[in-house]
Amino acid sequence: MPDLGRTLLFLGLLLVVAGLVVLGLGRLHLPLGRLPGDLFWRGRGWSVNFPLATCILLSVLLSLLLWAVNRFRR
């Protein structure tokens, strides 16, 4: 049970950090979510946003970051 508590605390802190990063990026006026390749459809009373290019960019950046962290830990 203590492992579950630690995991939940870690995930909660990770969500807080992710929220702060998103808020910080919003204040820097970075066009995340509005990159070329992000799909957006609008109709009468509905809209769909699928940030494909943003997801790919974030995936590459996080992969590089985690690779670098893993490389320096050895």
- The pLDDT of residue 51: 93
State yes or no: pLDDT of 1 exceeds 80: no
Cβ atoms 11, 3 nearer than 8 A: no
Q: Collect all residues with Cβ–Cβ distance below 8 Å to 32 and sequence separation of at least 6.
A: 25, 51, 54, 57, 58
Q: What is the pTM of this model?
A: 0.65
Break the chain into its structural domains and give their ranges.
1-30, 31-74
Summarize pLDDT for 50-59 with one digit per residue, the tens: 999 999 998 9
